[in-house]
Amino acid sequence: MCKDVRVEQLELWPAPFAAGPVTGTVALPGSKSITNRAYVLAAQAPSRSTLTNALRSRDTDLMARALETLGARVDFLTDTTVAVTGGDLHGGDVDCGLAGTVMRFLPPLAAGARGTVAFDGDPQARARPLGTVLDALRGLGARIDGDGLPFTVHGDGPIRGGTVTIDASASSQFVSGLLLSGPGFAEGVTVHHDGKPVPSMPHIEMTVDMLRAAGAEVDTSEANTWRVAPGGLRAHDWTVEPDLSNATVFLAAAAVTGGAVTVPHWNPQSTQPGVQFADILSAMGAEVSHADGALTARGTGALQGVDWDLRDIGELTPTVAALAALADTPSHLRGIAHLRGHETDRLAALTAEITALGGRCAETEDGLRIEPATLHGGVWHSYADHRMSTAGAILGLVTAGVQVEDIAATSKTMPDFPALWHALLGGGS
């Protein structure tokens, strides 16, 4: 059973019901994954970097404030254009909220600061796995008190670095966090993974590509091993792609209502996991087309279930599960046991909420099995998880009476989600 992290009754949002096909174009804000990586890299450069189309959300604002606390300069030139200048890092208090990128990317950076850095976050964040990255840092020469939030990093300038072997099967962020600060370690860093396959590998590819763009030397020639040479990073001006994982929710709206939704500035070669959603939509019966740098999804009628390994794209699971709950044939979503350690236990949460609306969803060892069923209205709980909130919104398009608890959870990566959703539906419900 999914652990219920709610401590009070949160506001219920009546999910808009689509009276007909949903059509339109949705311009999405920047990618959280790219924005927060760019922040960390820019904070290590000696001169100013600029982020254009940077995401403004709770997770990215937490990252910006944390870096300012540690000594970097962050100037918002506009709401989505940010100038970041690195500085000598020092101690302070870091609020991680519920952001995995903050709690896993910043401890390696803090290890090279001069001073004590205290990390804490939201109550539910204290259950998220962190021991892997903290133990790895200890092996690389860092001094750390604690194995999870709250914890304290005692910095005394650049740490030794070197080679470390970890089990990153719970999160690719363990690898990315060590690599992003590796150029500042005296010996650089070599991270070797030993364990079950690493999930969300596209996010590690994103990290490697961005490190190289900032001047780092990265060797990926050996399987499950990443080497970052020591040496300073250079300033870089980043243009942040739209968040393709958030885009999947709007494309799903077309698929479930027989409509057509276009997302501009879609890069088919992106390292974002969301880029692979186009293949899933096609397999489920939607039509997908690329034209003029945009992607359009068209619903064609009944949805078909899929048997899909989502290991590399686990963050898409709530969207895919919502589609599967509306499909005419069964679905098996595999390779996603690691989702039990995300913002909430997403496998248990999806099972509980789909079932509560009349669906048929069951957990497997590493995923979900979802059978066709007729859904009905009811309360869809979010568990403070932004992707749970948006999954409820998808179901509400074609299921009257769905109420999403805590739609504000979407502020983690998409602060304007309710307005964007209503605008796509013509402002009504």
pLDDT digits (tens, 9 = 90+) for 3-35: 333 334 578 999 999 999 999 999 999 999 999
- Residues 44 and 52: their CA atoms lie apart, in Å, by 18
Same domain, 311 and 372: yes
Same domain, 206 and 159: yes
Averaged pLDDT of the chain? 94
Annotated catalytic residue within 11, 187, 315, 353: 315
User: How many domains, in total, are found in the chain?
Assistant: 2
The two structure tokens encoding residue 126: 């204290």
Q: Is residue 234 a part of any domain in this protein?
A: no
Q: Is residue 136 a part of any domain in this protein?
A: yes
Same domain, 170 and 276: no
Q: What is the CATH number for 135?
A: 3.65.10.10
Q: Which amino acid is at 148?
A: G
- Residues 111 and 138: their CA atoms lie apart, in Å, by 9
177 a known binding residue?
A: no
173 a known binding residue?
A: yes
200 a known binding residue?
A: yes
Q: What is the pLDDT of residue 56?
A: 95
Helices 386-398 and 317-325 sit at what angle, rounded to 10 degrees?
20
CB 146 within 8 A of CB 94: no
For residue 276, what are the domain limits? 13-28+243-425
- pLDDT, tens digit (0-9, with 9 covering 90-100), for 35-52: 999 999 999 999 999 999
> 229, 260, 293 — which closes off a domain?
229
Same domain, 276 and 413: yes
Same domain, 191 and 250: no
Same domain, 191 and 283: no
Pairing assessment for the beta strands 23-25 and 260-263 based on DSSP bridges: parallel
CB 31 within 8 A of CB 413: no
For residue 429, what pLDDT band results from cuts at 50, 70 and 90? very low
412 a known binding residue?
A: yes
Q: Which amino acid is at 27?
A: A
Same domain, 267 and 403: yes
Same domain, 70 and 138: yes
68 is known as an active-site residue: no
Q: What is the pLDDT of residue 169?
A: 93
Q: What is the pLDDT of residue 325?
A: 98
Q: Is residue 72 a part of any domain in this protein?
A: yes
> 229, 258, 278 — which closes off a domain?
229
Same domain, 157 and 289: no
3 a known binding residue?
A: no
